[in-house]
Structure formats: C-alpha cells, structure tokens
C-alpha cells in the first residue's frame, strides 16, 4: 500500500517534506524505489508467516476439545494442515502436519516458497 498525503502549502515555505519530494522529482528519483519494493517483499513474507502461524494456532485451539479427532484446514486458503490432540497418560500431545503441496492444485506464492525449508521447495 502506498500513501499519498496532501496538505496546503504556503508559497516559498520551508516545508521539509515538500522540498524533499520536489528534490527527488527534480533528480528523476521517483518513488517507489527498488529499496521500497524489496522492503515490501520482505514485509509480505513476514505477513504470510504471521498469518499461517495464526491459522495453525487457531486450528490447534479448535482441536483441543476434540481429543482423538483429527481436524484439517487449509491455512491461508491453500496450505493443507492437520492437527490431532491426544491424551497420552496425562500428557497432552499435539500433532501438526503441514503439506508440502498446495491444496486443490493451487500454487503457494513466492513468499510461501521463501519460508519453506530448502528440501521442501518446489
């Protein structure tokens, strides 16, 4: 997401932001820059990881009352995951399985492949 802000400006004022953007424009250095694009890609990976982690934790929370029953969901809408909670001699075991392939033939995005361990990349 890019933000464009507008504010009234007085003629010949020494507004730092306006002068900075005017200088960039004069030098032909328009935004977004390559650094902005790289930062956006890095932030997309972080958002993806947080979303998948939140989805997994939600699935675990849903599975806790259903001990012995496997629950399944597609994390992020495309990454198959299964969770099983077992009560084993007073120890609560939580088993999670993530598929290395996307659900229903869908391809995980580049950011998802970036998160995968090297041996699991396709």
In a domain, 70, yes or no: yes
pLDDT tens-place string over residues 57-105: 999 999 999 999 999 999 988 888 999 999 988 899 999 998 877 776 6
What residue numbers bound the domain in which 90 lies? 16-120
In a domain, 4, yes or no: no
Q: Are 48 and 113 within 8 A, CB to CB?
A: no
116 pLDDT exceeds 90?
no
In a domain, 43, yes or no: yes
Number of domains making up the chain:
1
Q: Are 96 and 70 within 8 A, CB to CB?
A: no
pLDDT of amino acid 121: 44
Mean pLDDT in the chain?
79
pLDDT of amino acid 115: 47
pLDDT of amino acid 31: 75
Cα angle 78, 93, 62 (rounded to 5 degrees) comes to 45
């Amino acid at each position: 997401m890019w933000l464009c802000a507008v504010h009234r400006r007085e003629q010949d004022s020494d507004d730092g932001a306006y002068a900075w953007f005017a200088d960039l424009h004069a030098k032909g250095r328009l935004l977004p820059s390559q650094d902005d694009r790289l930062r956006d890609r890095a932030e997309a990976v972080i958002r993806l990881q947080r979303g998948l982690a939140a989805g997994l934790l939600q699935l675990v929370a849903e599975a806790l009352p259903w001990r012995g029953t496997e629950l399944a969901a597609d994390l992020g809408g495309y990454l198959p995951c299964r969770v099983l909670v077992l009560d084993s001699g007073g120890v609560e075991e939580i088993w999670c399985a993530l598929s290395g392939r996307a659900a229903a033939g869908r391809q995980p995005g580049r950011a998802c492949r970036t998160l995968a361990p090297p041996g699991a990349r396709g």
